[in-house]
Amino acid sequence: MGWLSVFFQDDRVLFGFLVMNVTASALAMQFLLRQWRDDAEIKPVPPKSQYITQATEDALKLSTLETLLGHYNHSIRETSAKIICDRVVNDRETVDMLLWGITRKDYDERMRNLKALAIITDPQSLERLHRWKAYAALVRCLELSIDPEQEVLDHDDWDEYPLRDMSEKLCLMFFSQLLSCYNAEKLVKAKFVEKWLAKQNWGPTQEERQRNFARYMCRRTNRITDIVTSVRGTHAGREALVAIGLLPQAAPSDSDPEDNIPLVERFSVLLPNDIANVDLNNLREDDATRFS
């Protein structure tokens, strides 16, 4: 056992044991501190999902909703506004009153009612406006918003749509959204073409009107061109455009481009070369022409 006593009397051995002891103590202390920290941490309680049922919405009084609209919480204010808008858009009498308001000659009154309609409607409630009365009211609002000093729409370098009046753009926005879900039959029936489109300044003469209208449809990309394209896609819409002189009697886009190719040229693709080269203008009815 003499070697054991010598081993423990060596300073290097004692120093190694001391280092191991300090290291183990430090690791143990670190582990205990981490465990104490994790146990002392107060974790936030996750919010519980809360849903408002339809019965709860219907039970809310207007005074309560008015109070909630002034709440400091944004989510509560947004939910309250959504409930009010849903109530308004589902009330046929209120919507009819707003539609009546957008047909008034007073500009400020029209804008108030237009903005109210824009606030209460969304893609889910847009069907409330898909009726002839709503189309007719919006067309009337457009008609009242026509600028009597409008310049001729013959500019190819810039689009005048962003400079149009806000009332016009709001009405066109409604039409664009409606036509994205429904056809243009009711819009044509409401005289959109005759009451608004025909009164745009396309030019003084019939030829200029047709030329400027064709160039506008070809070179512009805005809500007006989108709406007119939908209108033109219906039989009644094409007839209305022809009636007001914006389209010729035989619009090029309404016919097959091959219809303008002479009949002989189309037959020459199918017939043999010796037949295709025959000049039919020199033939007479009594000529007994045979092809071999």
Percent of the chain at pLDDT > 70 equals 79
Query: pLDDT, tens digit, for every residue of 157-181?
Result: 888 899 999 999 999 999 999 999 9
DSSP per-residue letters across 57-93: HHH--HHHHHHHHT-S-HHHHHHHHHHHHHHHHT-HH
- The C-alpha atoms of residue 208 and residue 152 are separated, in whole angstroms, by 10
| pLDDT of 120 higher than 80 | yes
Across 79-98, average pLDDT: 88
- The C-alpha atoms of residue 122 and residue 284 are separated, in whole angstroms, by 70
pLDDT at 39: 84
Return the biggest CA–CA distance within the chain: 145
What band does 7 get if pLDDT is binned at 50, 70 and 90? low
The predicted model scores a pTM of: 0.66
Query: pLDDT, tens digit, for every residue of 178-193?
Result: 999 999 999 999 999 9
